[in-house]
């Protein structure tokens, strides 16, 4: 008789950076080493437990230090004796437990009996970062846009820098020039009068002492660093990642007569396109911009005829470059013309690659001005003023305010100074033509000639027939349009602001529904950096805290918590008090 299906602790949907960040975080014993007082987690923890902090003084007890009341108990609900607390603790979802502070991670090994059981489902493959690596390989991108401290390692903020030095690959680091030291930001410039004359005074965005952080890794170095994280936490065991496209998600009690044992609590049923069903107590939705559930943005909906003839595609759908039709014309030494639509870094990378692959001319169209930025969020969110920016975001009164702050910080697509220089060099050699504030007004595809006839506003003089169009126009993160969440919307409706869910502070769908969202879908809680690698790491931290509460894992080490909440003191046994007398 076949064994009943397993109910796992956590199912992670998505094997990209966000999914990897969560999986690694769940297996990290001491994540607090990566955080400083100025960073988000401490701010979040203090805000969450504000007004509920007791300073416990116990000279000869093993309990000493600041403990949150929810774990420490109080005079009305219980007492703590001999380093253990017997109290009825009110927890999320109106559940109660007699326990010390729970912890998910007693070991960095995934085979530990105390660690959570996880399963990862991803539609693109059965390996971590497969879609990510394929996209970088297809577009021949050699360098990440992110600085050195943007990564998914939960154990060390400077982990990538340390790894680079350890393996001796400093040559794989590219300096991000112009944002450290003397560079002055326009919006930070101030006017002051000195000696009767007006003088412009600029403020440095990023301290000179942080220069070591503002290098970006090569794609190969970053991939190898992620592989080291995967090995460290044993996240590559057979069967831990399955190639499955999730199509439906439900959270309910199991019906009687089902193949798995009856449960007194609700569990998730995750259904895939193959009809397989998986069960878990918590689910993490960690899908990025390239997932099948994300709506790609087009200036117009391509006709089936154009799509069938492979006359255009979205940048997220590129499988080979250039297209077979354009490649054949290049081989026959015929003139080729390609249009790239978009204003972000991907569009500039496609322009560069098209020129390098032999396209005669690339027409680069963007609907707004050409914006040149080192990162896709403004420097104040990364430099010396980031604490003020983040605190203002987390302290905002409404999600509408946060949404406006996100829009201001990101300000649409932008291109790095390096790729701006590359594209302009192509334009100087007449291999590319840059057209800002330009939109396609009409379009017609001729299947006989396999070319497009386009008109633009404003008009582009002498625009020839176009062989292929690439839409590097991004994707829309709108949970109301994701089929896999339709059942969740019906059973557990939540508020949505312009496609983004209004989650709890722990990134949960609702306090009574342990569905966690991270990455760009958690933007209203994580801030403008949510879609970036930093957002993957910060989101994993919040998700781990929430999962800890949901699963109520227990760990009691000498009456102290050494879990990843940051409570307690792992060096308590070294206190001098015990040696007195």
pLDDT digits (tens, 9 = 90+) for 482-524: 999 999 999 999 999 999 999 999 999 999 999 999 999 999 9
Whether residues 244 and 368 fall in one domain: no
- What pLDDT, on a 0 to 100 scale, did the predictor assign at position 175? 87
Buried b / exposed e over 121-138, threshold 16 CB at 10 Å, is bbbbebbbbbbbbebbee
Which residues make beta-bridge pairs with 54?
67
Of 445, 474, 503, which one is at a domain's C-terminal end? 474
40 Cβ contact list (under 8 Å, min separation 6): 390, 394, 538, 541
Most confident of 58-67, 109-118, 207-216, 296-305: 296-305
Q: Are residues 85 and 120 in the same domain?
A: yes
Is the Cα torsion angle 406, 407, 412, 414 positive or negative in sign? negative
Whether residue 148 contacts residue 156, with contact meaning beta carbons closer than 8 Å, is answered with no
Q: Which two tokens stand for residue 236?
A: 């590559």
Q: How confident is the model at residue 205 (pLDDT cuts 50, 70, 90)?
A: low
318 and 438 housed in the same domain: yes
Q: Select the more confidently predicted residue: 37 or 377.
A: 377
CA distance 200 to 189: 7
Are both 315 and 363 inside the same structural domain?
A: yes
pLDDT at 565 over 80: no
Q: Which two tokens stand for residue 85?
A: 């607390």
pLDDT tens digit sequence for 388-433: 888 899 889 999 999 999 999 988 889 999 999 999 999 999 999 9
Q: What residues does 172 pair with on adjacent strands?
A: none
Instruction: Return the higher-pLDDT residue of 270 and 116.
Output: 270
Same domain for 146 and 68: yes
Strand runs labelled E in 76-228: 78-81, 84-87, 89-90, 96-97, 118-122, 173-175, 190-194, 197-201, 215-217
Residue 196 lies in a domain: no
For residues 465 and 485, state if they share a domain: no
390 sits in which H/E element: helix 386-394
Say if 531 falls within a structural domain.
yes
- Give domain status of residue 205, yes or no: no
Q: Please state the domain count of the chain.
A: 2
Domain finish residue from 428, 448, 474: 474
Round to whole Å and give the CA distance between 548 and 56: 24
- 484 part of a folded domain: yes
Within this chain, do residues 445 and 507 fall inside the same structural domain, yes or no? Answer: no
On whether both 118 and 231 belong to a single domain, the answer is: yes
Alpha helices in 142-275 (DSSP H): 159-166, 219-232
Give pTM, 2 decimals.
0.77
Q: What is the pLDDT at residue 490? A: 95
Taking phi over 0 as left and psi of -120 to 50 as alpha, with beta for the rest, 86 belongs to beta
Mean pLDDT of the chain: 78
What local confidence, expressed as pLDDT, does residue 369 receive?
A: 92
Instruction: Give the H/E segment covering residue 440.
Output: strand 439-446
Q: Give the residue numbers spanning the domain of 256.
A: 1-156+220-294+477-581
| Tally of CB atoms within 10 A around 270 | 23
The residue out of 474, 493, 528 marking a domain boundary is 474
Are 282 and 368 found together in one domain?
no
Higher per-residue confidence, 425 vs 80: 425
Task: Report how far apart, in Å, the C-alpha atoms of 417 and of each of 90, 176, 210, 377 are.
Answer: 53, 9, 20, 14
* 425 part of a folded domain: yes
Pairing between β-strand 337-341 and β-strand 361-365 as defined by DSSP bridges: parallel
Check residue 453 and give its pLDDT: 94
Q: What is the DSSP string of 335-350?
A: --EEEEE-SSHHHHHH
pLDDT at 307: 66
Which position has the token pair 């966000």? 18
User: What would the mean pLDDT of 362-367 be, rounded to a whole number?
Assistant: 96
Between 458 and 209, name the one with better pLDDT: 458
For the ranges 88-92, 239-243, 440-444, 472-476, the lowest mean pLDDT is seen at: 88-92
Confidence of residue 107 (pLDDT cuts 50, 70, 90): very low
Identify whether 184 is part of a domain. no
Looking at the fold, whether 57 and 103 belong to one and the same domain comes out as: yes
40: confidence class by pLDDT, cuts 50, 70, 90: very low
Tell me whether residue 211 is in a domain.
no
Q: What CATH number corresponds to the domain at position 60?
A: 3.50.50.60
Q: What is the model's pLDDT at position 561? A: 39
* 98 and 71 in a common domain: yes
Say if 175 falls within a structural domain: no
Query: Both 239 and 318 in a single domain?
Result: no
């Amino acid at each position: 008789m076949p064994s009943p299906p397993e109910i796992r602790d956590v199912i992670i949907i998505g094997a990209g950076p966000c999914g990897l960040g969560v999986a690694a975080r769940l297996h990290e014993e001491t994540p607090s080493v990566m955080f400083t007082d100025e960073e988000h987690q401490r701010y979040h923890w203090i805000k969450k437990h504000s007004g509920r902090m007791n300073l416990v003084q116990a000279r000869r007890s093993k309990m000493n230090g600041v403990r949150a009341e929810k774990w420490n108990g109080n005079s009305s609900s219980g007492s703590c004796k001999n380093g253990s607390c017997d109290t009825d603790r009110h927890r999320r979802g109106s559940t109660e437990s007699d326990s010390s502070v729970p912890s998910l991670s007693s070991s960095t090994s995934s085979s530990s009996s105390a660690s959570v059981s996880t399963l990862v489902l991803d539609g693109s493959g059965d390996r971590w970062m497969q879609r990510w690596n394929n996209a970088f390989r297809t577009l021949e991108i050699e360098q990440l846009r992110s600085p050195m401290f943007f990564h998914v390692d939960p154990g060390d903020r400077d982990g990538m820098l340390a790894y680079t030095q350890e393996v001796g690959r400093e040559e794989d680091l590219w300096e991000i020039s112009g944002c450290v030291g003397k560079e002055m930001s326009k919006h930070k410039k101030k006017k002051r009068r000195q000696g009767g004359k007006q003088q412009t005074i600029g403020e440095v965005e990023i301290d000179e002492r942080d220069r070591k952080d503002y290098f970006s890794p090569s794609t190969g170095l970053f991939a190898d660093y992620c592989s080291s994280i995967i090995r460290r936490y044993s996240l590559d065991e057979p069967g831990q990642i399955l190639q499955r496209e999730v199509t439906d998600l439900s959270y309910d009690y199991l019906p009687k007569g089902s193949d798995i044992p009856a449960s007194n609590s609700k569990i998730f049923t995750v259904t895939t396109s193959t009809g397989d069903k998986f069960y878990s107590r918590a689910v993490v939705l960690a899908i990025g911009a390239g997932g099948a559930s994300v709506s790609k943005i087009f200036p117009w909906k391509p006709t089936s005829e154009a799509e069938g003839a492979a006359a255009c595609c979205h940048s997220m759908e590129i499988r080979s470059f250039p297209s077979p039709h354009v490649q054949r014309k290049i081989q026959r030494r015929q003139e080729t013309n390609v249009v790239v639509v978009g204003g972000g870094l991907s569009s500039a990378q496609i322009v560069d690659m098209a020129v390098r692959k032999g396209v005669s001319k690339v027409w680069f169209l963007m609907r707004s001005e050409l914006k040149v930025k080192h990162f896709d969020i403004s420097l104040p969110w990364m430099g010396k003023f980031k604490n003020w920016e983040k605190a203002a975001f987390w302290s905002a009164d409404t999600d509408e305010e946060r949404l406006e702050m996100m829009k201001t910080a990101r300000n649409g697509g932008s291109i790095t100074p390096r790729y701006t220089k590359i594209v302009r060099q192509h334009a100087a050699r007449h291999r590319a033509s840059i057209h800002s504030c330009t939109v396609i007004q009409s379009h017609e595809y001729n299947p006989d000639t396999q070319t497009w006839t386009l008109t633009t506003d404003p008009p582009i003089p002498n625009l020839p027939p176009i062989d292929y169009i690439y839409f590097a126009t991004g994707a829309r993160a709108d949970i109301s349009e994701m089929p896999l969440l339709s059942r969740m919307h019906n059973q557990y409706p939540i508020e949505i602001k312009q496609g983004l869910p209004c989650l709890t502070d722990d990134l949960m769908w609702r306090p009574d529904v342990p569905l966690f969202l991270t990455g760009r879908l958690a933007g209203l809680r994580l801030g403008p950096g949510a879609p970036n690698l930093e957002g993957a790491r910060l989101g994993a931290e919040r998700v781990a805290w929430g999962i800890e509460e949901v699963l109520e894992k227990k760990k009691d080490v000498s009456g102290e918590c050494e879990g990843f909440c940051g409570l307690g003191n792992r060096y308590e046994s070294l206190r001098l008090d015990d040696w007195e007398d």
